[in-house]
A and B are shown apart, each in its own frame.
Chain A
């Protein structure tokens, strides 16, 4: 005769489970000081982009003809009206940098969204169906990966025509094989699990199995890859802008600003330094965040 009372079954609501998972995630993410700093800078960047019209002292494309290449305010010859100076046609650097944040975030979001959706669908199809579907999709991905990414993006933009939209499409096409490969690998390992078999026996159809049963369990590596792709997208789109194939002047995109500033590098250091610094800080913040996300989401690294 046992006198041990049966343990009461604690039933957690879905929301409570989600809250617990989030709390656990935040616990691991917080361990990484760099990641928290990166997150902070990233939030700041988002705020700057959203409130750009309020923050910017001038219109980003307004040319002040009496203020060409004015140095930053703290330097001799600087003016208080232009804290970070002006460029060769008299546009306020600070305002252009603030508006540039909109471009970078927009590019990052669009590129990652296209690459993620395309890559996940292709990866799911390849991993789930296997056989010739898998072979065809993955061979095509291999071909795309065989090209150096920036070169392929450049040539695609040359075909589609220079411009921001085409640059984003090109970069997304170049990035999506990474998502397809990751999804495929995750799907293939999940397919062997009992819960998938159980769902199949219970009568779940292909689409439900793919998107509702398997996909949510493959998300961790995809989130990490999405963060890394976000920073690469900001970097590559700036590179395309710098090469004259991305956003076109007078757009205050940071890479395009650098391209316009090139001829003044030995005369006006500020027109070159600030846009690049803005790119570096944004990319670094996102990469720091990505490192933290990987540590927090990858159970293999958690224990070490």
Chain B
């Protein structure tokens, strides 16, 4: 197992370096002089320009600049935002919990609905339930979620008036930021109605973000179940006279879950892409909206480091998924 983990970790090193190269070259490729870009509309004198270039290291060869960049990263220095002047890492950490809360809720919704639906569809293969649920899943898979979000806002916020249109919590409530998760913090604050307010703000965005992963998980669970139910050990269990619930619940489901868990884990990339759209629609103050705003404001250090942090995050989660896979399926480990 240790060898398996080490080999996986080693495999990540070139990928991570590649990510840093892409993030680094991103600012280099941009049209225009980075110093002039920072100076803004006022412009700079040639002397000041040279001084700033030297200060920022732009007068060195590109390869040296890259190694400087890498060195700063290793020290946890991700640069400062051009707009707020705050360190990018600080901003990222402040907004990150909002995205995690949204993403976690979405993946919980997707799993809690997707897995049972997939299992049921597989058991009742060809039935109306199977056909309807799989058609719905394909519709969900094809959904432009930015439009889906707008429709839900029209219906639930506009017509029914049940949920708020944007934000994480009503302005009426104020409490200390303990965990960064609004649901938990509102409970800890003990204020009446705070939790309900947080929940009502969270529900629509999480449903929107959950849509595509839900469809993928339902489809994947169904096909994994169908494959497993054709296996010899399932037939043997049935032939022994085991009750169908036990055959499905223990023999089939446990084995079918292996690819399903991987699928769930791999949704993190989908979630991050979805978070950009979902957070934009619902004005959710998370990483996705931060990235979009920074791109619009041409806040390049934020875009550069944000891209790097998100990619590194996705990479680490994918590594954890790989490791879990090795843990539950010894055949992979010893390959």
Contacts and interface: CB of A to CB of B under 8 A. Distances in A.
B273 A148 contact: yes
Contacts of B26: 155, 159
Contact of A269 (B147, B154, B307, B318): B154
Interface stretch (B14-22, B43-51, B247-255): B14-22
Interface in B251-287: 269-270, 272-273, 276-277, 280
Contact of A283 (B142, B150, B272, B314): B142
Given A146-B314, A287-B141, A242 B135 contact: no
B295 interface: yes
B142 A151 contact: no
Interface in B16-74: 18-19, 21-22, 26, 29-31
Contacts of A158: 295, 303
Given A146-B315, A148-B314, A272-B151, A238 B141 contact: no
Interface in B84-108: none
B292 interface: yes
A266 interface: yes
Interface in A252-304: 255, 258, 262, 265-266, 269, 272-273, 275-276, 279-280, 283-284, 287-288, 291, 304
Contacts of B14: 139, 142
A239 B296 contact: no
A243 B292 contact: yes
A142 B30 CA distance: 24
Nearest to B148: A276
A154 interface: yes
A231 interface: yes
Nearest to B146: A242
B154 A266 contact: yes
Contacts of A242: 144, 146, 277
Interface residues of B, number: 46
Contacts of B318: 146
A238 B138 contact: no
A28 B19 CA distance: 43
Contacts of A150: 273, 276-277
Contacts of B30: 159
B135 A148 contact: no
A213 interface: no
A289 to B, nearest CB: 11
B147 A280 contact: yes
A163 interface: no
B332 interface: no
Interface residues of A, number: 43
A25 interface: no
Given A155-B295, A159-B30, A265-B153, A143 B142 contact: no
A287 B219 CA distance: 13
B19 A146 contact: yes
Contacts of B320: none
B139 interface: yes
Contacts of B303: 155, 158
A158 B292 CA distance: 10
Contacts of A262: 150
Given A279-B144, A279-B147, A142 B18 contact: yes
Nearest to A244: B296
A266 B144 CA distance: 19
B144 A238 contact: yes
B15 A146 contact: yes
Interface in B312-335: 314-315, 318
Contacts, number: 125
Given A143-B15, A243-B292, A235 B142 contact: yes
Interface string A99-117: 0000000000000000000
Contacts of A235: 142, 144
Given A258-B147, A265-B154, A149 B273 contact: yes
B310 interface: yes
B123 interface: no
A258 B150 contact: yes
B291 interface: yes
Contacts of A161: 31
B144 A283 contact: yes
A299 to B, nearest CB: 16
Nearest to B28: A159
A83 interface: no
A276 B291 contact: no
B311 interface: yes
Nearest to A160: B29
A225 to B, nearest CB: 15
B187 interface: no
B197 to A, nearest CB: 21
A275 B311 CA distance: 32
B139 A154 contact: no
A159 to B, nearest CB: 5
A140 interface: yes
A34 interface: yes
Nearest to B230: A304
A159 B28 CA distance: 10
A158 B26 CA distance: 10
Contacts of A269: 154
Query: Which 8 A-B residue pairs are closest in the complex by CB-CB distance?
Result: A276-B147, A143-B18, A150-B273, A283-B142, A148-B272, A284-B142, A148-B273, A279-B144
14 contacts: A142-B14, A142-B18, A147-B311, A151-B276, A152-B307, A231-B142, A235-B142, A242-B144, A243-B280, A258-B150, A265-B158, A276-B150, A283-B142, A287-B138
Given A155-B26, A287-B142, 6 more contacts: A147-B22, A147-B310, A148-B270, A151-B310, A159-B29, A265-B154
